[in-house]
Copies of this chain bind each other. A is one copy, B any other.
C-alpha cells in the first residue's frame, strides 16, 4: 500500500519545476541538490516524465526540464501514474490485466473498485498549481 520513492521524488520534482517556471529550465543537478537525493536516480524519473509528454527537456548547457503544460493542467495523478506504474490497488483493475478467471465469484472486486475510485478522484483532483500554493489547496 506504499508509494515508492519513484512516485514521491517525481512529484516533488514536478513541484519544483512548476515553482521555478519562468526562470528557465531546471537542471537535475539543482533539483537533486535541493531535495537531497541522487541525481542519477532522479534522471530516470525525469526521463519518464519527459517521455510521457509532461515535461519538456532542453539538452546542453543551461538546459534542464520545464513544464510542457500549465501547472493547473497537470494533476498529481498523472505524475504518479507515470512513475509508479498505475495507482490501482489490485492488479486485476489494471488496464492491461484482461479478464480475471475468478471474477464472477469474487466478493472483493467491488470493494477494490471503490477504493480505486476514491484514490483516483483524489489524485486527479489535485494539480501542480494547488501544490505550489498549499495555503489555497483544498486538500489541506
Contact = CB atoms under 8 A, between A and B. Distances in A.
Nearest to A132: B107
Interface in A62-118: 76, 80, 84, 86-91, 102, 107-108, 110-115, 118
Secondary structure class of chain A's binding surface, majority of residues: helix
B108 A126 contact: no
A108 B15 CA distance: 9
A36 interface: yes
**Interface size range of chain A in the complex:** 35 or more
13 contacts: A1-B7, A1-B80, A1-B119, A2-B90, A3-B89, A76-B111, A107-B131, A110-B134, A111-B126, A114-B122, A114-B126, A114-B139, A115-B123
